[in-house]
């Protein structure tokens, strides 16, 4: 078998989109699975659509996701250059070869010496290829009109350049979006004209949104660019894992898979032709699973920028670590740290009726006064001391269970539920806790009058 060579061939028209990232990933996994090579080629011939910084952004995001390549515009290689606009001589040479052999003709611009080169589509030919994902696909030449391969400005069209490059770069396998199925007959004509061997094609399934419509860049309900996920504190390993499941599934049901596992499990015959649903809940779940695997230091690095951006004062590293210990299991992404911080540590303290109602039957005054007295002398940075004081309060007042914990939580946080109370109180700090309890006692007095 020939050495496997697969490529990702983006047009630099914007940031790395989920669909493109998935295309890159499947080619990458395939190449690595078979010990082959993976390269990046920039298809920048649609000059009007190229955006400034588009290539860098694509490459940076692919790197962030954990993919690496053996050849590409940034690192070169034996088959370069890897930008199509730098390969114009090559396309010109081959276009003229087709002219000379009668497979193409000159199409003059009216009243000018300039001409485009147009491919002469042969009559009554059936083109067919075996798609790895969809089986044999057939096309009739009568459905295709003569088409331009080289424009009068010397720039090739996609369907021509892609063939020259895939042949020249010795590409053996092409996995790409299903929107390219209809382009394939034009490409096969060029392969045939030169008597070149086709690569193996696999046209991947579309990705659909909640409404089962093809994910489109205009669909504002779904975040679609890798960069945006990065900025929200998603982890690259989780994104890579999630992308791998868009139109592919491993043999057994285990879906949390590292890059190395994906490479060893990747099987192109398990690629599906059925639309793949972009399941946001699944992405959140996968990311939360990877967040749980982080070390404390990694978790700090992930969440710190979000807290800082929000203007949250990180009192000290110990404080930060306690905060993360109690919030870690709730996080679906890094940005959510501020949501939970606000939920559990908001500065405005107010007790609403509903919450007060839940504790109205307990002996709150005795309890809260005793707790106030006992916390006076302890070191609040140590949550285990707070835990002891809660127990001691219970013992001395003979109050137990819900009657003990619920009023203490309500009086200090204004909430009925939350993470570990001793840690939460320690994080809030002694002054705030005392202040809130006093306030609650005032409110309770008012209520009973
Ligand atoms: N530049 C094309 C695209 O971005 C690549 C298509 C192909 O892989 O042949 O869709």
Residue nearest to atom 4 of ligand 1 (CA): 10
pLDDT tens profile 74-103: 999 999 999 999 999 999 999 999 999 999
Which residues carry out catalysis? 217
Q: Residue 20 CA: which ligand 1 atom is closest?
A: 4
| CA of residue 394 to ligand 1 center, whole Å | 69
pLDDT tens profile 120-147: 999 999 999 999 999 999 999 999 999 9
For the chain, list the domains and their CATH numbers: 5-207 (3.40.50.620), 298-340 (1.10.8), 353-448 (1.10.10.350)
The verdict on the CB of residue 9 being under 6 Å from ligand 1 is yes
Residue 356 has pLDDT above 70, yes or no: yes
The verdict on the CB of residue 84 being under 6 Å from ligand 1 is no
Sign for the CA dihedral angle at 315, 316, 322, 326 comes to: positive
The verdict on the CB of residue 11 being under 6 Å from ligand 1 is yes
| CA of residue 422 to ligand 1 center, whole Å | 56
- Residue 174 CA neighbour count, 13 Å, CB half: 26
Residue 321 has pLDDT above 70, yes or no: yes
The verdict on the CB of residue 10 being under 6 Å from ligand 1 is yes
| CA of residue 220 to ligand 1 center, whole Å | 24
The verdict on the CB of residue 176 being under 6 Å from ligand 1 is yes
The arithmetic mean of pLDDT across residues 380-408, rounded, is 95
Q: How far apart are CA 55 and CA 447, in angstroms?
A: 65
| CA of residue 21 to ligand 1 center, whole Å | 12
pLDDT tens profile 165-180: 999 999 999 999 999 9
pLDDT band at 220 (very low <50, low <70, confident <90, very high): confident
The verdict on the CB of residue 43 being under 6 Å from ligand 1 is yes
Model confidence, pTM: 0.91
DSSP 104-172: EEEEEPTTSS-EEEEE-PPSS-EEEEEETTTEEEEEEGGGS--EEEE-TTSPBPHHHHHHHHHHHTT--
DSSP 304-333: HHHHHHTT-----HHHHHHHHHHHGGG-SS
| CA of residue 142 to ligand 1 center, whole Å | 24
Q: Residue 43 CA: which ligand 1 atom is closest?
A: 1
Residue 208 has pLDDT above 80, yes or no: yes
């Amino acid at each position: 078998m020939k050495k496997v060579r697969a490529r990702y061939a983006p047009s630099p028209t914007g940031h790395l989109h989920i669909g493109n990232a998935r295309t890159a990933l499947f080619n990458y996994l395939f190449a690595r699975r078979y010990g082959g090579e993976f390269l990046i080629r920039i298809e920048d011939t649609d000059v009007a659509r190229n955006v400034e910084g588009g290539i860098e952004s694509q490459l940076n995001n692919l790197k962030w996701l954990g993919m690496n390549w053996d050849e590409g515009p940034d690192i070169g290689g034996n088959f370069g250059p890897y930008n199509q606009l730098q390969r114009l001589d090559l396309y010109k040479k081959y276009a003229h070869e087709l002219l000379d052999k009668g497979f193409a003709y000159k199409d003059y611009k009216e009243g000018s010496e300039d001409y485009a080169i147009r491919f002469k589509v042969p009559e009554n030919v059936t083109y067919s290829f075996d798609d790895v994902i969809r089986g044999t696909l057939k096309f009739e030449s009568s459905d295709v009109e003569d088409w331009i391969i080289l424009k009068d400005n010397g720039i090739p069209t996609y369907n021509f350049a892609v063939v020259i490059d895939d042949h020249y770069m010795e590409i053996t396998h092409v996995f790409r979006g299903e929107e390219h199925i209809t382009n394939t007959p034009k490409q096969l004509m060029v392969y045939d004209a030169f008597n070149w061997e086709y690569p193996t094609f696999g046209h991947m399934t579309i990705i659909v949104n909640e409404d089962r419509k093809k994910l489109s860049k205009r669909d504002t309900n779904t975040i679609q660019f890798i960069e945006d996920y990065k900025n929200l504190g998603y982890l690259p390993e989780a994104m890579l894992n999630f992308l791998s499941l868009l139109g592919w599934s491993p043999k057994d049901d285990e879906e949390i898979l590292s890059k190395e596992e994906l490479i060893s499990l990747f099987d192109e015959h398990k690629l599906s032709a059925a639309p793949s649903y972009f399941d946001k809940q699944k992405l959140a779940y996968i990311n939360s699973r990877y967040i749980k695997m982080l070390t404390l230091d990694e978790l700090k690095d992930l969440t710190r920028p979000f807290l800082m951006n929000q203007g949250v004062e990180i009192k000290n590293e110990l404080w930060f670590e306690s905060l993360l210990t109690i919030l870690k299991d709730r996080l679906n992404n890094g940005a959510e740290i501020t949501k939970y911080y606000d939920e559990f540590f908001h500065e405005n303290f107010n007790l609403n009726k509903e919450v007060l109602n839940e504790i109205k039957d307990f002996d709150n005054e005795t309890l809260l006064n005793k707790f106030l007295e006992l916390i006076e002398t302890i070191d609040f940075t140590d949550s285990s001391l707070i835990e002891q004081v809660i127990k001691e309060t219970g013992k001395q007042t003979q109050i137990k269970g819900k009657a003990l914990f619920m009023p203490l939580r309500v009086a200090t946080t204004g909430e009925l539920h939350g993470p570990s109370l001793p840690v939460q109180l320690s994080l809030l700090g002694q002054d705030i806790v005392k202040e809130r309890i006093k306030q609650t006692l005032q409110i309770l007095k008012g209520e009973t009058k």
